[in-house]
Structures are given as C-alpha cells and as structure tokens.
Amino acid sequence: MIEGSLMHSIMRFLIVDVVLVFLTGPLFIFLVLGIIALAYYLRRPLNLVLDLTGNKSDKHFQLPAKSEAMAKEQLLSRLRNISAKQKLPLYPNGWFGLMESSEIGFDQMKHVSALGETFTVLRKSDGKVHVFDSYCPHSGASLGKGETAKYSSSACSKKCESIPCTEEVPDLARLRTWKSVEVNDIIFVWYHAEGEEPSYEPQPWEEITNGGYKFVGRFESTCDAHIEDGIQNLADNAHVNKVHAPRMGLAGADFDGSMRKWLSYFAVHVQKSTWEPDAYLPHLAWTRTKFQLYLFNKIPILGANGLRVIARTIGPSIFEVSVSVWNLTAHQTFFVTPVGPLTLRVVDRIYARPFENLVGRVFLWGFKQAIEEDIMLWNYGTPRPQLNVVKEEKTLLNFRRWYSQFYSENSPSLNCQDESITTNFNGKAIAA
C-alpha cells in the first residue's frame, strides 16, 4: 500500500517536472510564437498582386523574354489576324469597378484611368463618393492637384463659378459627372457610349453587408486581353476540362505542362458546368459548376456533393460567386475593367465566415492559379477571335449573342487592318 502510494507520488512528480521543463523550455516558446504568428496571419487579409502585361508575362511564364518593343509588335501581329470587316469593340456599356472602397479615405481624391477616360473619385467628409472628369472645364487643369483639390472637396455645383480673366462664365463650362454607386466594398461607375441612363444597378450582397462573412483577402492582376475573352470563360465548359482540370488549381504558371504530367498519376479532376442567361433580367447570366477530385481515379476527395460554384454575371464586367465544399462556403465579388485598349484589371475579393478564414484563403489561392492559367491563353492569342464552333460548343454562341447587348453604335472600336494602328508603352493598341 505504501509502495503504491510512493510510486503514485513519484509519477505525479515526474509528470509535473516534465510539464514545467516543457513550459519553461525553448520548445514551448517556439510553439507559442508559432500560434501567435498563425493567428496574425489568419487575421491579416491577403493581398496578392500580379502584373502580366507586356514582357512581364514572358518572364512570369518562364518563356524567352522579349523586349517591350517586341511584345508590342507581337500584339500588333495578333491584331492583324482580325478581319477588316470586323471592328474590334473595346469598351462595352454597363457598370465597371473603378476602385475598392478601402483605396480612398474621407476628404480624399484619386485619379483612375479606365474605359478611355480619366476619372476623379472623391470621397467627401460625409462618406459619400462622387465621380467626375479629372480636368477643369475651362482651363483643363487637373482637379486633383493643388488648390483645385481643396475647392473640389467642398459642395460643388458642377458649374464653373469664376474665370480669372473675365466676369462672364459660359454656361457650357460645367464639370462632367458620372453616375456611381458604392456597394459591396467596391466603387462602380456607369459607362455608356450613347449617354443612356443606367438600366440596372449593382445590389448589396446581404451576407457581406450584414457582416456575416468577413473579408479574407484580394487578388489583383493586369493582363493584355479583351474583356469579352475573360467573361466568356464562364460559358466555356470545354476550356475548364482542358486548361484547368489537368492542373487542378496547383500548377498556375506551368506553361509547358510539366507539373500536370505527374499530377495526373495521383488525382483526376472532373467537372460539369452550365451557363444560361437569366429568365427575367437581361443583364444577368448564371454559371453553375460542380467539381470533383478523385484520388487514384477512384476515391472522391471533395465529399459526395463535390465542390459547388454558382456564379452570377452582372452586366459586362461584374461577378458574384459562391463556392461551397462540405459545409464550408466562401463568397467572391470581382470585377474586370478595361484600363486601356486590350489591357484589363481583374480584382477578386473573397469573404468567409469568421471560423472559415483558412478555407477562404485556399479558395483565393485556387482562383489565382486559375486566372494565371487563363492569362496564358489571353496574352498570346487573338483578342476576341471570330468563333468557329462545333455543335457541342453552342453555349459559346449563346454567350456571344447575350454579351452583344452591351455594345452600341458608338462603342469605341478598332479597325485592326488600319495601317495607323500603333501601340503605346503599355502595349495597348491605339489609333494613331
């Protein structure tokens, strides 16, 4: 009895001693620091930025790097493949994302170049955002510089009130303003080549605006492409199977396919997707996709229902996407905006529930890899090519018909056979 009690006391002493040694040792310190670092990492939003314009694309995809001049010449060569009968429309009509709400503070003013225009975005002290032309209607001076910035931040009638050299102010000296809306942490502007009023408006996404889903991070990329090529991917089921499925979101810049060769030995990616316009609202379209990943071509990894994606296309440039796997869900808001002819800015923002932050980060990383795979095709192909499709690809024709509603008679366009076509230093095609 005494021996048993003694052994019990010794064991307790040894356990306490081991615990004390652990708690005061370097291993415990490293463990605590690791937990703190992980918590900080998960709380801090991701910010992934990728510039794939010009010869930066060659370097990223590990191709023989061209000079900027050679990159421009190759872009022109691809443009020459477009028929003289087919003008290349540049900017569709609709709502476009100019910037994210976090990019501009109270009483701040910023310039944004997009859609062939230079916009000034102003957030006044009451938090409201206004968008107008960047130049004085009288002198052409920049409204974001010097004293003009101070005056612009006050209540503005949009009419020129005084001109130093005269007492009369022409009625035409008015500042052009643009209709804008700030929703889902993004500032949108309405662009229409015919000057028509908005026929729809981006709506708040309740799960985001009510705080149920928290901001996890963002991915921004710029590339040399036509906006329609990027949007068309949502209707191109075949491209998912050929471009994305073999890489399974892991290869990214794997241009020569070396990574997907060994991936296929271990896992097979299968997906089924549908695209259709909304039955009631002409500016909406829906993409529904189901993914499954099979280990050794037999064992489903993503559960019985797989990974489910529902994407809502709003007009020519806005997407709202819900991604679900098992009982985990993330929401994405992203926009595609032409910042110049054949140069796109793509921004994706992802939100997840507070305890699903890590899942949101995985989804964001997967989206980044998928965009890289798409840009490999966009940057080196003919912009908005004439489609030669087989019957199995009729969805692409339906998409083109649906998307054509966003162009109008005066939409800016290029005649790519015009000898005056040249490029500027960002590799954008312009008419000389």
Find out whether 252 and 369 touch, Cβ atoms under 8 Å: yes
User: E strands, 278-366, where?
Assistant: 284-295, 299-300, 307-314, 318-325, 328-340, 343-352
Domains 46-88+206-415 and 94-191 share a fold: no
- Domain edges within the chain: 46-88+206-415, 94-191
Is residue 343 within 8 Å of residue 428, measured between CB atoms?
yes
- The pTM assigned to this predicted structure is 0.78
Of 3-7, 130-134, 235-239, 410-414, the poorest mean pLDDT is in: 3-7
The amino acid at residue 281 is: L
Q: Residue 394 phi/psi, 5° resolution? A: -65, -20
Both structure tokens of 307: 């990974």
User: What share of the chain has pLDDT > 90, as a percent?
Assistant: 24
Region 208-215 average pLDDT: 90
Is residue 372 scored above 70 in pLDDT? Answer: yes
Strands (DSSP E) along 84-179, which ranges? 88-89, 94-100, 108-114, 117-123, 129-133, 177-178
- Strands, E, within 104-179: which ranges? 108-114, 117-123, 129-133, 177-178
Separation of CA 174 from chain center: 34
For residue 356, is pLDDT > 70? yes
Q: What is the pLDDT of residue 331?
A: 93
State which fold the 94-191 domain adopts: Rieske Iron-sulfur Protein (2.102.10)
Tokens at 332, concatenated: 């994405």
What is the residue-averaged pLDDT of the chain?
A: 74
> Of 133, 135, 174, 132, which is closest to residue 157 (Cα–Cα)?
174
Read off the tokens for 80.
Answer: 């020459």
Is residue 419 scored above 50 in pLDDT?
no
**Side-chain half-sphere of 367: how many Cα atoms within 13 Å?**
27
Contact 218, 46 (CB under 8 A): yes
The Cα 222–Cα 218 span in angstroms is: 14
φ and ψ of 152, to 5 deg = -70, -25
Q: Rounded mean pLDDT of 35-39?
A: 63
pLDDT of 171 above 60 = no
Q: Examine the pLDDT at 240 and tell me if it is beyond 70.
A: no
Task: Please give the CATH architecture assigned to the domain spanning 46-88+206-415.
Answer: 2-Layer Sandwich (3.30)
Residues 283 and 203 sit within 8 Å (Cβ to Cβ):
no
d(CA 55, CA 72): 9
Structure tokens that stand for 86 in this block: 């087919």
Q: What average pLDDT score do residues 146-165 get?
A: 46
Calculate the CA 191 to chain-centre distance: 19
Q: What is the model's pLDDT at position 52?
A: 79
C-alpha 282/C-alpha 22 separation (Å) is: 65
The confidence score (pLDDT) of residue 69 equals 54
**3-class secondary-structure state, position 146:** helix
Q: Mean pLDDT throughout 131-157?
A: 58
CA–CA dist 107, 116 (Å, integer): 26
**Helix 2-24, helix 26-43: angle, nearest 10:** 50
